[in-house]
Amino acid sequence: MSPHAHIAGVFEHPGRTLPDHTVAQIHAEVAAGALADAGLTFADVDGFFCAGDAPGFGGLSMAEYLGLNCRYIDSTETGGSSYLVHVQHAAEAIAAGRCSVALITLAGKPRTGGAGPGASARSDAPESDFENLFGLNIINGYALAAQRHMYEFGTTSAQLAEIKVAASTHAQHNPNAFLPTMVTIDEVLESPVIADPLHRLDACVITDGGGALVVVSPEIAASLDRHTIPVLGTGVGIKHTSGGRIDLTHTGAVISGPAAFAEAGVSPTDIDYVSIYDSFTITVLMTIEDLGFCPKGQGGGFVSDGALQSPNGILPFNTDGGGLCNNHPANRGGMTKVVEAVRQLRGEAHPAVQVPDCKLALAHGTGGSLATRMGSATLILGRDD
């Protein structure tokens, strides 16, 4: 048994529209699902992790709702990447003996109302009046990054469309996918331009739902029947506008990626499968560059010709259909990135998209706004057999 913390249970809520659930209920359902997947119960949990999507007062409200008895709590908020940061923090807490069964939950209902994404949208942010007077919305911010990337590196809309095509190719095999229909490059390019250069089909879906992870100590992992997944390396990188010297073509992955690879003692060429945060197609392209899967600026060429399609592409990605087609619960895609990476390492992805003998996977989360004010988090996950 390796000395690492292990992901012992994962769960993705099958719902994509949940008008009859409260956000707290969804947290409870995904928690129950992940614990059952691990072969554990609520009574086994001694550490709880949640982010701004959790209703109430940090983790306190949800710990009470769920009936947890915790000796460790963490509500680190980095937007959609929070849950990967939580895996890092859980692994550290487990190594320090602070807890042995860590539960991480995410839930939200951006599709049918109810609670919004939470703490990330606070209006007292000191930067808000310098960005909110100009008709900016989420996709505009990503369009600004895409436009600059195209200017500096010659990236094209057709290359971005390849990313959506790959996700849709995978989503057709996922019965829970919000958009299960394959699309072509032309269909992406013919969808309405929302904000130059991004089209409607460059954007992720908006779905209700949630997910949960259970991270356990090596000793607990050894006691379970389940195929548990060692956390081999983690990295976190915070990037912001740097006192007004914003750089729109790099992400925090330039910090989080090398840290995770170094801890795991592996390099990008060793990775069999990647879950890459995909709020928009440009998010994927810039992240792949920044993680070192290709030189900076060459992401457009790299993702072409089916490179991201499983099982035959050179870098199979987001085999559940990702946020672009499957699910982006609570407008936060980090949780589902970890869930699908674990499915791949367990050999439990859909057979049509399962990477043969998947031994090493990378999951990457992007929180905040791409290249603007963001928290990046990278996990390297493996197998013990």
Partner 1 sequence: MPTESNLPTNAAYPTLDSEPFWDALNDDRLHLPRCTACAYVIWYPRHHCPNCGAGRDQIEWFDASGRGAVYSYTVVRRNRGSWGEILPYIVAYVELDEGPRIMTNIVECDPESVTIGQAVEAVFHSVPEARQREHGATGVLRFRPSA
Query: In sequence order, what E strands does 161-205 have?
Result: 193-195, 198-199
Q: What CA dihedral angle connects 231, 320, 163 and 303, to 10 degrees?
A: 50
Which tokens in the block code for residue 49?
């992790």
Shortest approach of partner 1 to residue 130 CB, angstroms?
A: 4
Shortest approach of partner 1 to residue 161 CB, angstroms?
A: 17
Does 175 interact with partner 1 (rule: CB under 8 A)? no
Q: Which of 43, 193, 262, 352 binds partner 1 (CB under 8 A)?
A: 193
Of residues 241-260, those binding partner 1 (CB under 8 A)? 241-246, 248
Q: Which of 97, 135, 175, 356 binds partner 1 (CB under 8 A)?
A: 135
Shortest approach of partner 1 to residue 159 CB, angstroms?
A: 18
Shortest approach of partner 1 to residue 329 CB, angstroms?
A: 22
Shortest approach of partner 1 to residue 203 CB, angstroms?
A: 11
Does 121 interact with partner 1 (rule: CB under 8 A)? no
Q: Toward partner 1, which CB reaches closer, 57 or 151?
A: 151
Q: For residue 184, what are the contacts with CB-CB under 8 A and spacing of at least 6?
A: 165
- Reported as type and span, the H/E element at residue 230 is strand 229-239
Shortest approach of partner 1 to residue 245 CB, angstroms?
A: 7
Among 30, 88, 44, 89, residue whose Cα is nearest residue 329: 30
Do 340 and 319 form a contact (C-beta atoms < 8 A)? yes
> Which residue(s) pair with 236 in the sheet?
377
Q: Toward partner 1, which CB reaches closer, 43 or 193?
A: 193
Which tokens in the block code for residue 14?
């099958």
Q: Toward partner 1, which CB reaches closer, 129 or 385?
A: 129
Does 129 interact with partner 1 (rule: CB under 8 A)? yes
| CA distance linking residue 235 with residue 88, whole number of Å | 8
Q: Which of 41, 137, 181, 267 binds partner 1 (CB under 8 A)?
A: 137
Does 113 interact with partner 1 (rule: CB under 8 A)? no
CA atoms within 13 A on the CB side of 170: 32
Does 196 interact with partner 1 (rule: CB under 8 A)? yes
| Cα separation values, 233 from 80, 265, 380, Å | 19, 8, 5
What string marks each residue from 141 to 160 as x (binds partner 1 by CB under 8 A) or -? --xxx-xx--x---------
Among 211, 257, 221, residue whose Cα is nearest residue 94: 221
Q: Toward partner 1, which CB reaches closer, 256 or 369?
A: 369
Q: Toward partner 1, which CB reaches closer, 122 or 269?
A: 122
Does 190 interact with partner 1 (rule: CB under 8 A)? no
375 in helix, strand or coil? strand
| CA distance linking residue 9 with residue 226, whole number of Å | 8
Does 192 interact with partner 1 (rule: CB under 8 A)? yes
Q: Which of 44, 131, 270, 384 binds partner 1 (CB under 8 A)?
A: 131
Does 133 interact with partner 1 (rule: CB under 8 A)? yes
Shortest approach of partner 1 to residue 228 CB, angstroms?
A: 42
Q: For residue 233, what are the contacts with CB-CB under 8 A and spacing of at least 6?
A: 259, 260, 261, 262, 263, 264, 265, 266, 378, 379, 380
Shortest approach of partner 1 to residue 155 CB, angstroms?
A: 13
- φ, ψ for residue 176 (rounded to 5)? -95, -5
| Cα separation values, 239 from 248, 285, 384, Å | 11, 17, 33
Q: Which of 140, 156, 172, 304 binds partner 1 (CB under 8 A)?
A: 140
Does 130 interact with partner 1 (rule: CB under 8 A)? yes
The residues that touch partner 1, with contacts defined as CB under 8 A, are 126-127, 129-137, 140, 143-145, 147-148, 151, 192-198, 241-246, 248
